[in-house]
Structure 1
Amino acid sequence: MKKIIYLALLAIGLSVHAQNDLPKLATEITPLLIGEKIPNFNLKSVENTNVNLTELFSKKRTVLVFYRGGWCPYCNAHLAALAEAEKELLDLGYQIIAISPDAPANLKVTDDKEKLNYLLLSDSTGELSKAVGIAFKAPENYKATIAKGSDGMNNSFLPVPAVFILNVNAEIEFEHISPNFKNRISNDLLITVAKSLNK
């Protein structure tokens, strides 16, 4: 009996350990799949207040964006492009939420610079990115940049840029994930998918 308990505990320990081991490369991530749910976390807003994801998602369908940080020019271009698509997405009944490892103060810098109307949230510890399966070990040359962006909370991971469309139950209905951070979903494709899911 003791042996069975020991083996069970060992298996659980190995499983938890495996979940904590980040993939070394962006191409090795194992993201959540369509039909699975985005787990519930409390993240920090630009104002440094807690925001509950389940409550937020329950309000309306969501375009959920993960980006690397305000220091990334490709991410900033993508955020600006989303701002151009925002009115049409709002008219279709969606909300846009963008999440990065940046600390709230640095989210505000991005918000002010890009003049965004949609919600930016901080995942500086990477709990959400890791749970969604899009976090990987940051290359050595990124560590100082991401540490600065997260106010020292993160020097170990980067999220692969990703866009999910969720229903009000936080279930994934569409995903676009590109390990090549230069490749982002176009507004045309995003709006076409949003319309098709809204029927």
Structure 2
Amino acid sequence: MNTKTIPLALLLLALVLSVNTASAQSANPQPQSIKPTDTGNTPMLSKLLEEKVAASAERLPENVRQTYARGIETVRETNIENTAKQVGDAAIDAQLSGWDGKSVKLSSLWNQGPIVLVWYRGGWCPYCNIQLRAMQQNMDKIENAGAKLVVLTPELPEKAKETAEANDLGIVALHDQGNAVARKYGLVFDLPEAIIPAYRDKLKLPEYNGNHAMELPLAATYVIDRSGKITYAFLDADYKNRAEPADVIKAVEAAAKK
């Protein structure tokens, strides 16, 4: 064999092997290297709520959006954000039961350490569901900061159970029947006349709450320290705005040091 032909033969063999390897990889593509997502970071609640607002804006007619916007302003004009319980006020104690049938006294909880007291309007409210899921995702951080999360709602226990199951929540909501506790906190408002038909007929509020009262609580969040004093308050007439979990956690950390 002519030794001068060996390099050429090897070159041809290498070319054939390269083509075959490329064909095999094309037929059986290897998974791409993807940078892992940092699962320790959850999206800000405000961003999730903004996305929901944008989606609703695309779906709802302009006249409907304006009606709800006027409703929010009507509630704000009652000055409820300023007349409700504020930072520095004494918290209201109450004995309430969850959908699991267990009874809880609020003061027995805050005597052990700070509590985060959150009201949600009902499982019919998408903004409430987004908030509840966000609080669930931050449960460990809230507890590690030294607090217990306590959720109150006017919806019936069986409805609250459905809300928890639909959102994969480990949170057991306490039933604030007839908004009795929310009323003592100054959080209850009458629904503006223009939006009553939607809440009554479309959202089925009477079925959720077990009564025909056309009223709701603000979606308020409080942090209460072990002395029973309110150290953080989120109060907004706009139901699309909610307390950011990171802000709540900071408030809990401050309250736990007292």
TM bucket, shorter chain: 0.7 to 0.9
Asked whether the equivalents of residues 26 and 160 of structure 1 are also in contact (C-alpha less than 8 Å), the reply is no
Equivalent runs, 1:19-34 vs 2, <5 Å:
25-27=74-76, 28=78, 29=80, 30-34=83-87
Change (3 A) 1:49 1:143: farther
Per mean C-alpha deviation after superposition, the further-off stretch among 35-44 and 105-114 is 35-44
Equivalent runs, 1:175-186 vs 2, <5 Å:
175-186=233-244
- Which of the residues 182, 205, 216 maps onto 1:146? 205
Instruction: Please give the alpha-carbon distance, in whole angstroms, between the structure 1 residues aligned to 2:96 and 2:212.
Output: 15
Change (3 A) 1:60 1:116: farther
Asked whether the equivalents of residues 102 and 149 of structure 1 are also in contact (C-alpha less than 8 Å), the reply is yes
Equivalent runs, 1:103-182 vs 2, <5 Å:
103-139=156-192, 140-141=196-197, 142-144=199-201, 145-150=204-209, 152-182=210-240
Equivalent runs, 1:80-99 vs 2, <5 Å:
80-99=133-152
Using the TM superposition, give the Cα deviation of residue 25 of structure 1 relative to its aligned residue in structure 2, in angstroms.
4.3
Deviations 1:67-101 (A, max 9, x none): 11111000000000001111011111110011111
Q: Which has the higher strand share?
A: 1
Asked whether the equivalents of residues 145 and 253 of structure 2 are also in contact (C-alpha less than 8 Å), the reply is yes
Larger radius of gyration: 2
Per mean C-alpha deviation after superposition, the further-off stretch among 111-120 and 158-167 is 111-120
**Which residues of structure 1 form unaligned runs of 5+?**
1-23
Matched residue type, 1:169: S
Instruction: Please give the alpha-carbon distance, in whole angstroms, between the structure 1 residues aligned to 2:228 and 2:172.
Output: 16
- 1:40 aligns with 93
Matched residue type, 1:168: R
Instruction: Please give the alpha-carbon distance, in whole angstroms, between the structure 1 residues aligned to 2:172 and 2:157.
Output: 12
Q: Over the residues paired in the alignment, what is the CA RMSD in angstroms?
A: 1.9
- 1:16 aligns with none
Using the TM superposition, give the Cα deviation of residue 49 of structure 1 relative to its aligned residue in structure 2, in angstroms.
4.2
Instruction: Please give the alpha-carbon distance, in whole angstroms, between the structure 1 residues aligned to 2:242 and 2:212.
Output: 24
- 1:197 aligns with 255
Change (3 A) 1:36 1:72: same
- 1:7 aligns with none
